[in-house]
Structure 1
Amino acid sequence: MVQAAQKDTFKTGGDDLDDGLELDPDFLAASDEEGDSDNNGGDAEDENEDLIPLEGEEDEIAHSPIPEAKKRKIEDVELDGENDDEEAKKAEKKRRKKEKEKERKAKKRQTKSGITDSTIPTHLSTEDLSNILLVSIKESYPSASQVELDDIIIPQDNLLSPPDYPPKKSDDPFGSLQERIESILKPLEKKKIVVGQPQVIILALSGLRCADVVRGVRDVKGNGEVAKLFAKHFKLADQIKYLQQKKVSIAVGTPARVGKLLTEGAIKITSDTVLLLDIGHQDSKTRTILNLPEVRDELWKSVFAGQSRETLLSGGIHIGAL
């Protein structure tokens, strides 16, 4: 009984060849192959390196030596470059539009003022000059009635007739200016110059333009000096003192300063005095002494108004253009 019980007892340990069990040879062969495969993992990787690329992979490998991360960076740079080009095109389009608008406004101002690129200010007839000045006056006095305008406009008798010589084209920007002043000063050569009584007064757009005109007229200054009557050169008191002491043949100034000097009585006017308006000069925005608002208003509300106007017209001044 004891022996029978022992025979029925099962062993729970591992494989034991002594228990009478025999292993399947096929099972052993399969296990050996799996072990060889696991132990030769490195060899398998080496074999993978020697694999022949599939069709289509050869071109990808040959033409894509750049890592994927670098490819993305290059694509981002190219995209930024395209964006920069697009912004540059927009900026250029905006600039061209602005230039066209600027030209349009300039042409509109020229058409409205009556001064075009073909206009020669020095040779304007008294009627044409009067019409041009009237346009400027209306801009300074937009609500003025016709009766009020008649009191502001310059009488025809005080406008300077055009010169006898024909207009000449010259590369010298001050050629026509010099010729015009010479024609005015020549008949006055034998007349005595009086202190504080300029023979020619030139009104220009700005102090910078005045400085250029002064350099342009030095060679034809006549028997007197060339006075600089604009704010950046002298204080008003200094200019009054200067005019009281010096004989001046040509005075160059801005409407604001000359208007104050006229009001102060520092400038004397006679029937031989000529006042020239530098209407031919345009600034970078094609504005002139007749349509740049602050300068235009000084011209009509300071020089040709009040005591200054009385001094000019009662003295018999003649007004022309450059």
Structure 2
Amino acid sequence: LDPSDDEAIEKASEKSSATCQDSDSKPAVKKKRKQPTECFLSQPEEKQESAVKAKRRKKKKISDVLQKSAPKPGVPADLQNLLNQHFGENRSVIEIEELKLSDSCFLPANDLTHSFSSYLKEICPKWAKLRRSHKEKKSVVMLVLCSSALRSLELIKSMTAFKGDCRVIKLFAKHIKIKEQMNMLEKGMFHIGVGTPGRVKALVEQDALCLNSTKYMILDWNWRDQKLRRMMDIPEIKKETFDLLEKSIIKLCRDGSVKLGLF
């Protein structure tokens, strides 16, 4: 054999092995380049998503807070504190002082053991006498405020053992026009009014309901709706209640003609 032929064969084998090495190494280089970029991009996104979820979980609804807390009966100090918080920023010291109610302005509060009828019997043992002596139109002896029309109907049904022969008027907006209620108050005589603070306030402002004959005002304080909110946990109801108290009720309470009760 010619030695030049051996050299040619060796060179050819070296070239083929080199090309094989290059072809084998190219995919490995690509894989190494892809791996760090994929890991680098995916990790921060996962962290951001988990951080957002954690923040969302921290927000608690009022129903979650109330569900964990044991029910406590309302007391006069609760009403006074809410009044101070509601009017504190926009009233002077003298005006806030005029909104203060002494203990003598309040009836015994419900301790959560009473039905509505038994509570009314306790706070108003001489109801039969008051009912018989009441002769004035456009007025009621007892005013009951609650958070909704449905709750008003529940309270009216539950007071059957107390009310006797007295007449009850519904003072809420659902399915009843205000003009209809104004006509009823003007022509008829009613002993108890049960309704929402918004409608009662509107009737008082239009002189359709006079509170000079009112002796008792009961707030449906402790009852909770499906979302576990009391009437004072609903901003609109709380505002309308305090507006009514400020404009019409607190002065009568301070004068001794109206007593407040928290049921």
TM-score range, shorter chain: 0.5 to 0.7
**What does 1:88-167 correspond to in 2, within 5 Å?**
102=62, 104-106=64-66, 116-117=70-71, 119-121=72-74, 128-129=75-76, 131-143=77-89, 144=91, 146-162=93-109
Q: Which runs of 5+ in 1 are unaligned?
A: 1-92, 111-115, 122-127, 170-174
Q: Which structure is richer in relative contact order (CA contacts within 8 A, separation 6 or more)?
A: 2
Answering whether residue 245 of structure 2 is matched by residue 304 of structure 1, we say yes
The verdict on how the C-alpha distance between 1:265 and 1:185 changes in structure 2, with shifts beyond 3 A counting, is farther
Aligned pair count reads 207
The verdict on how the C-alpha distance between 1:98 and 1:200 changes in structure 2, with shifts beyond 3 A counting, is farther
Do 2:145 and 2:218's aligned partners in 1 also have CA atoms closer than 8 Å?
Answer: yes
Shift of 1:310: 4.5
Decide which of 206, 211, 227 is 1:269's aligned counterpart: 211
Do 1:196 and 1:266's aligned partners in 2 also have CA atoms closer than 8 Å?
Answer: yes
The verdict on how the C-alpha distance between 1:99 and 1:207 changes in structure 2, with shifts beyond 3 A counting, is farther
Shift of 1:243: 1.5
Shift of 1:257: 1.0
- 1:176 aligned partner: 115
**Structure 2 letter corresponding to 1:306:** K
The verdict on how the C-alpha distance between 1:285 and 1:99 changes in structure 2, with shifts beyond 3 A counting, is farther
Q: Output the CA distance in 1 between the equivalents of 2:213 and 2:256.
A: 6
- 2:257 aligned partner: 316
Q: Which runs of 5+ in 2 are unaligned?
A: 1-52
The verdict on how the C-alpha distance between 1:265 and 1:105 changes in structure 2, with shifts beyond 3 A counting, is same
Instruction: Return the TM-score normalized by structure 2.
Output: 0.65
The verdict on how the C-alpha distance between 1:240 and 1:282 changes in structure 2, with shifts beyond 3 A counting, is same
Answering whether residue 183 of structure 2 is matched by residue 220 of structure 1, we say no
3-state SS, counterpart of residue 237 of structure 2: helix
Instruction: Return the TM-score normalized by structure 1.
Output: 0.54
Do 2:167 and 2:191's aligned partners in 1 also have CA atoms closer than 8 Å?
Answer: yes
Q: Output the CA distance in 1 between the equivalents of 2:122 and 2:139.
A: 19
Do 1:204 and 1:277's aligned partners in 2 also have CA atoms closer than 8 Å?
Answer: yes
Decide which of 249, 254, 267 is 2:191's aligned counterpart: 249
3-state SS, counterpart of residue 280 of structure 1: coil
The verdict on how the C-alpha distance between 1:249 and 1:271 changes in structure 2, with shifts beyond 3 A counting, is closer
3-state SS, counterpart of residue 233 of structure 2: coil
Rg larger in 1 or in 2? 1
Answering whether residue 134 of structure 2 is matched by residue 187 of structure 1, we say no
Identity of aligned residues (%): 23
Q: Output the CA distance in 1 between the equivalents of 2:187 and 2:166.
A: 12
Answering whether residue 187 of structure 2 is matched by residue 240 of structure 1, we say no
Q: Output the CA distance in 1 between the equivalents of 2:116 and 2:195.
A: 15
Q: Deviations over 1:108-143 (max 9, x none)?
A: 9x7xxxxx51x344xxxxxx41x1012322442351
Do 1:276 and 1:320's aligned partners in 2 also have CA atoms closer than 8 Å?
Answer: yes
Q: Output the CA distance in 1 between the equivalents of 2:254 and 2:199.
A: 18
Do 2:171 and 2:181's aligned partners in 1 also have CA atoms closer than 8 Å?
Answer: yes
Do 2:107 and 2:123's aligned partners in 1 also have CA atoms closer than 8 Å?
Answer: no
RMSD in angstroms over aligned alpha carbons? 3.4
